């Protein structure tokens, strides 16, 4: 199904590179799988190389992911498909005797929820808005700020102001302030 949308398969990961982003769909098996029995879920991600350069501008030691081999967990914005579905919870599908039925359900979920999310988050402004709408779950605000800095510094400043207004003093909050000041945002 993903090939018809231009994705290329590499193991359990499919990637689509265009519009200056890489969209990633990954099928993750449970660590408790045995043989052909177990469960799978779908991880999604969008890599924004321009935002990754902004993230690393202050000297992050971690090199940016290789766009041709990027994994969902390395992407600028990432989500598990179950959190995009109406139940908004981690969703796993069974393998084994029900693999075909699960495959159809997974394909429907990717088509209905995954592909639209990948398209939405391919726009840096929309990706930052989505991150803010989740209260930066699993990401932290720095990724949203980096996305915004690639398109609109004023929007990045406004997002930082909103975040700092509600942030409690913590080590994480201090890291955001340090990164933001290095990125020429006012704290």
* pLDDT single digits (tens) 147-158: 999 999 999 999
The DSSP call for residue 37 is: B
pLDDT of 126 > 80? The answer is yes
| Cβ(187)–Cβ(180) below 8 Å | yes
Query: In whole angstroms, what is the distance from residue 145 CA to residue 185 CA?
Result: 9
Q: Which tens digits make up the pLDDT trace of 48-104?
A: 999 998 888 766 667 888 999 999 999 999 999 999 999 999 999 988 777 788 889
pTM for this prediction: 0.89
Residues recorded for the chain: 187
List alpha helices for 87-140, DSSP H.
Answer: 99-109, 115-120, 124-133
Q: Are 67 and 17 in contact (CB under 8 A)?
A: yes
d(CA 7, CA 15) in angstroms, rounded, equals 5
82 compared with 163, residue with greater pLDDT: 82
Place of tokens 């039925």: 101
Considering the chain, what is the average pLDDT of its residues? Answer: 89
pLDDT at 19 over 80: no
What's the pLDDT score for residue 80?
96
Percent of the chain with pLDDT over 90: 57
Ranges of each domain in the chain: 3-182
């Amino acid at each position: 199904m993903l090939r018809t949308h231009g994705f290329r398969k590499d193991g359990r990961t499919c990637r689509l590179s265009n519009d200056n982003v890489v969209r990633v769909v990954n099928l993750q098996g449970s660590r408790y799988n045995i043989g052909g029995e177990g469960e799978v879920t779908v991880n999604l991600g969008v890599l924004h190389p321009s935002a990754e350069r902004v993230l690393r501008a202050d000297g992050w030691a971690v090199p940016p992911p290789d766009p041709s081999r990027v994994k969902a967990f390395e992407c600028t914005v990432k989500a598990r498909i179950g959190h995009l579905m109406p139940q908004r919870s981690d969703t796993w599908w069974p393998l084994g005797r029900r693999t075909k039925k699960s495959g159809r359900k997974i394909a429907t979920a990717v088509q209905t929820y995954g592909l639209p999310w990948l398209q939405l988050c391919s726009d840096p402004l929309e990706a930052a808005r989505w991150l803010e709408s989740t209260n930066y779950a699993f990401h932290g605000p720095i990724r949203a700020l980096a996305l915004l800095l690639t398109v609109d510094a004023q929007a990045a400043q406004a997002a930082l102001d909103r975040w700092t207004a509600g942030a409690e003093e913590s080590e994480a909050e201090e890291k955001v302030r340090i990164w933001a000041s290095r990125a020429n945002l006012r704290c």
